[in-house]
């Protein structure tokens, strides 16, 4: 069950906007959380820091991000630029439509149940992480 996600299908949708999954993941985090440091993004994506550095650098080159001052001089805090925000909204439509299509025929009740289970799995993952 778990080792066969449908990422490649999502990639097809994102490709329409010249976006990649890790990039989309960052945009999504910033759209829902306002701003983030690179370490914050690394935790979110469960990925090492250099990976985030690269993805963020690319998004900066595309002018989708802008800097805001952090509490440190070490940390680098970013948020969506106006261009990034408008892109996000646009891609959001595509992704929403994609999700609707693949959930077609599944009752609202079942959908909510599935989402709930995903949340529990995620919290299991996090507690597993913190133990380590």
Write out the residues near DNA by the rule CB under 7 A. Answer: 8, 11, 20-23, 37-40, 45-58, 70, 72-77
Residue 90 binds a second copy, judged by CB under 8 A: no
Nearer to a second copy, 71 or 131 (CB): 131
Residue 33 binds a second copy, judged by CB under 8 A: no
Sheet holding 35-37, edge to edge: 35-37, 77-80, 65-68
Cβ atoms of 85 and 31 within 8 Å: the answer is yes
Length of the chain as a residue count: 132
| Dist CA 23 CA 55 (whole Å) | 6
Residues in contact with a second copy by the rule CB under 8 A: 1-10, 21, 24-25, 28, 45-47, 95, 98-99, 101-106, 110-111, 113-118, 120-122, 124-125, 128
């Amino acid at each position: 069950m778990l080792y066969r996600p449908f990422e490649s299908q999502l990639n097809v949708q994102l490709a329409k906007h010249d976006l990649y999954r890790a990039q989309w993941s960052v945009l999504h985090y910033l759209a829902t959380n306002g701003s983030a440091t690179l370490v914050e993004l690394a935790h979110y994506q469960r990925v090492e820091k250099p990976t985030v550095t690269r993805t963020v650098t690319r998004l900066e080159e595309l002018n989708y991000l802008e800097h805001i001052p952090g509490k440190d001089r070490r940390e680098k805090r970013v948020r969506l630029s106006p261009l990034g925000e408008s892109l996000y909204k646009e891609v959001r439509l595509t992704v929403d439509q994609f999700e609707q299509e693949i959930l077609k025929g599944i009752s609202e009740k079942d959908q909510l149940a599935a989402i709930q289970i995903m949340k529990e799995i995620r919290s299991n993952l996090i507690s597993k992480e913190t133990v380590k």
